[in-house]
Amino acid sequence: MEDKSPISVPDEVIQRITAEEIIRFDVQARLKKKDIDGSDSKAVKFLNSPFGLFLLGAIFISGAGGLFQLWNERSKHEEIQREVQRKALAEYRWRLADLDQRIAEIEKTTDVEIKGVDTIMIYRASYGAIEFQPTLPEFKNESWAGVITQLDTLGVSENAAQAIIATRELIDGPIAGHDTNNRGYFAPGYLEERAKILHLYYETAHKKVFQ
């Protein structure tokens, strides 16, 4: 079904069109006054003619059309940017959920084998290892810091620097011990502190993208 809802036009566009219409009527009034005073030049007489008035109106209409075109192009650009932001934020949330799950498993176990496996999985999500499955193919082999950087360049900058550092620390350690396969695992409380920083960035980013 065709969408017949009214088009929302920004106030600034309406104001510019209104100003142009005021100027157009003012020019017409001045031309009529000069016609009454008998002080018209050839140029004024031409502009005061039916064709001249038509040409004058066409110029203003063309200007209004340019404003609408500029507004439409800007609206399309903003919508594309919002879509990219949403995709990047969805990928961020996917990795954050994975981190939360791994932390929960590590907290309730004393098995160093489980801790070792979960630590490797956290590393893969943070580094963007080939084994990690992202939400979309475009994020394949992309580090978590890369996802944050993409959001940062799109205007989601508050707490971005701290979040990037936190993802780097999930890759680098420090490591408290190793399992039998020599897979390291994090010291108690280390993951929770980084998760707080990453959750804070998600909260501010979500407000920014969906405000």
Give pLDDT tens digits for 28-63: 666 566 555 554 555 556 556 666 666 666 666 665
Give pLDDT tens digits for 74-104: 667 678 888 999 999 999 999 999 999 999 9
Nearest Cα to 127, choosing from 80, 63, 170?
Answer: 170
Q: Pick the residue with more confidence: 211 or 33?
A: 211
pLDDT band at 114 (very low <50, low <70, confident <90, very high): very high
Nearest Cα to 190, choosing from 130, 125, 102?
Answer: 102
Cβ count within 10 A of residue 183: 18
Mean pLDDT, the chain, rounded, equals 81
